């Protein structure tokens, strides 16, 4: 680092070199808030929705928003607001399972690839990169072709497609941890690789896992919406934002609002998880500040 940069860094380091507590950034706050709203919607939908979101009522088809139907009704007379509420549940459920699958496989894979001998780690990463040639949607369509469309199939496919992102990131973190003095000391003291992985590596890469989980959640939400839109996701009648969009398409000329509500819901949820991920990254890793 150049002398000037060092001096600036010193200038911002605060009194006596003590690390200043990092303030909560805007993206963390806004992202956290949006995610909290989405989770709140999902929780709310368990105890209350204004109407039964699956109730078909031809008498109230395609109603404009009103006090009775806040977001109006769709072509079957179903309440759009209730569907959006219920849809958040589907979205979170799919995201949760997909990220869970990706983390459960990707994190151990990344740690092993980081701790294994160099050639072995490289080989694992090559295989890992190969998975990148099969994006979530493609994999999910393939799965659907074989096992039939369904929520579980979609979740697992999205999860598998997200594994390489976790593994790559965690391997990078593991390689760094493995070079720290406390790990070298632990190895010198004869600690086994499993103990080192659990005691030293895992706690130190956990912040990476959390950041990637948040970003992975956003990717899963997008993929689920696209799959439902194509008819490979959650089967009817369970409400899903993606399928609401697909159903709205034929009615664009008369009721574009039917596309707007689920569309905004998807975009907000993705935005929320992305912002949360960015905010967490800034908070955990000051070096990356300002980069994204």
Partner 1 sequence: MTPVPETGPAAAAPDDVLAVRNLGVTVGGRKLVEDVDFTIRAGERVGLIGESGSGKSLTALSVMGLLPEGLRASGSVRLAGVDHDLVGADEARMSRVRGKEIAMVFQEPMTALNPTMRVGRQIAEVLLIHRTRPDRASARAAAVELLAQVGLPDPEAAAHAYPHQFSGGQRQRVVLAIALANDPALLVCDEPTTALDVTVQARVLDLVVRGVQERRSAMLFITHDLAVVATVCERVMVMYGGRLVESGPVQEVFTRPRHRYTQGLIGASDLTVVDDRGRLATIPGSVPAAGRFPAGCVFRNRCEHATDGCATRPDWVPTGPDSGYACFHPAPDGAPGTGTPTNQEAGRG
Partner 2 sequence: MIVRLVQRIGILLASLVVSSVLVFAFMAVLPGDPARVALGTSASDSAVAQLREQFGLDRSLVAQYFSWIHGLVTFDPGDSYISHAPIGPQLADRLQVTLWLVGTGMVIACVLALPVGTLMAVRHRKPSGLILSALSQVGVAVPAFLAGILLITVFAVGLGWLPANGWTPPVQDPVLFLKQLVMPALSLGIVQAAVLTRYVRSAVLDVLREDYLRTARAKGLRPTRALLRHGLRNAAVPVVTVLALQLATLLVGSVVIERVFVIPGLGSLLLDSVANRDLIVVQDVVMIIAMAVLLVNFLVDMVYLLIDPRLRGGAS
Q: Does 266 bind partner 2 (CB under 8 A)?
A: yes
**CA-wise closest residue to 64 among 227, 290, 219, 261:** 261
Nearer to partner 1, 17 or 117 (CB): 17
The residue from 7, 48, 253, 287 that contacts partner 2 (CB under 8 A) is: 253
**What x/- string results for residues 140 through 159 when contact with partner 2 is judged by CB under 8 A?**
-xx-xxx-------------
Three-class SS of residue 73? strand
Nearer to partner 2, 178 or 223 (CB): 223
Q: Which stretch binds partner 2 (CB under 8 A): 11-19, 38-46, 127-135, 171-179?
A: 127-135
What minimum distance in Å lies between the beta carbon of 195 and partner 1?
Answer: 38
**Rounded Cα gap, residues 167 and 236, in angstroms:** 34
**Rounded Cα gap, residues 163 and 134, in angstroms:** 11
Q: Give the interface with partner 1 as residue ranges (CB under 8 A).
A: 1-8, 10-17
Instruction: Give per-residue burial for 61-100: e unless 16+ CB within 10 Å, then b.
Output: eebeeeeebebbbbbebbbbbbbbbbbbbbbbbbbebbbe
Counts of helices then strands in the chain (DSSP H, E)? 11, 0
Nearer to partner 1, 25 or 204 (CB): 25
Check: CB of residue 174 under 8 Å from CB of residue 111.
Answer: yes
Write out the binding residues for partner 2, residues 23-42 only, by CB under 8 A. 27
**Binding footprint of partner 2 on the chain (CB under 8 A):** 2, 5, 27, 126-127, 129-130, 132-138, 141-142, 144-146, 218, 222, 225-226, 229-230, 232, 245, 248-249, 252-253, 256, 259, 263, 266-271, 274-275, 278, 290-292
């Amino acid at each position: 680092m150049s002398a000037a940069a060092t001096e600036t860094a010193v200038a911002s380091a605060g009194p006596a070199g003590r690390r200043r507590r990092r303030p909560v950034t805007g993206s963390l706050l806004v992202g956290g808030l949006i995610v909290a709203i989405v989770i709140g919607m999902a929780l709310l939908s368990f105890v209350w929705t204004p109407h039964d979101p699956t109730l078909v009522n031809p008498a109230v088809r395609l109603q404009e928003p009103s006090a009775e139907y806040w977001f109006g009704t769709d072509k079957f007379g179903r309440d759009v607001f209730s569907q959006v509420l219920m849809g958040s549940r589907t979205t979170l459920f799919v995201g949760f399972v997909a990220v869970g699958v990706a983390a459960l496989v990707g994190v151990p894979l990344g740690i092993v690839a980081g701790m294994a001998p160099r050639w072995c780690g490289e080989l694992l990463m090559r295989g890992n990169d190969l998975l990148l040639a099969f994006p979530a949607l493609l994999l999910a369509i393939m799965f659907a072709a074989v096992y039939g469309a369904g929520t579980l199939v979609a979740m697992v496919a999205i999860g598998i497609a997200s594994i390489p992102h976790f593994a790559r990131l965690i391997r990078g973190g593991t390689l760094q941890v493995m070079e720290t003095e406390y790990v070298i000391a632990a190895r010198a003291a004869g600690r086994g690789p499993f103990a080192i992985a659990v005691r030293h590596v895992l706690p130190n890469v956990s912040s990476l896992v959390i950041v990637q989980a948040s970003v992975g959640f956003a990717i899963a939400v997008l993929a689920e919406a696209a799959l439902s839109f194509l008819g490979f996701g959650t089967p009817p009648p369970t409400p899903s934002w993606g399928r609401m969009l697909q159903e709205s398409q034929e009615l664009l000329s008369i009721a574009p609002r039917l596309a707007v509500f689920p569309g905004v819901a998807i975009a907000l949820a993705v935005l929320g998880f992305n912002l949360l991920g960015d905010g967490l990254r800034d908070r955990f890793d000051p070096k990356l500040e300002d980069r994204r």
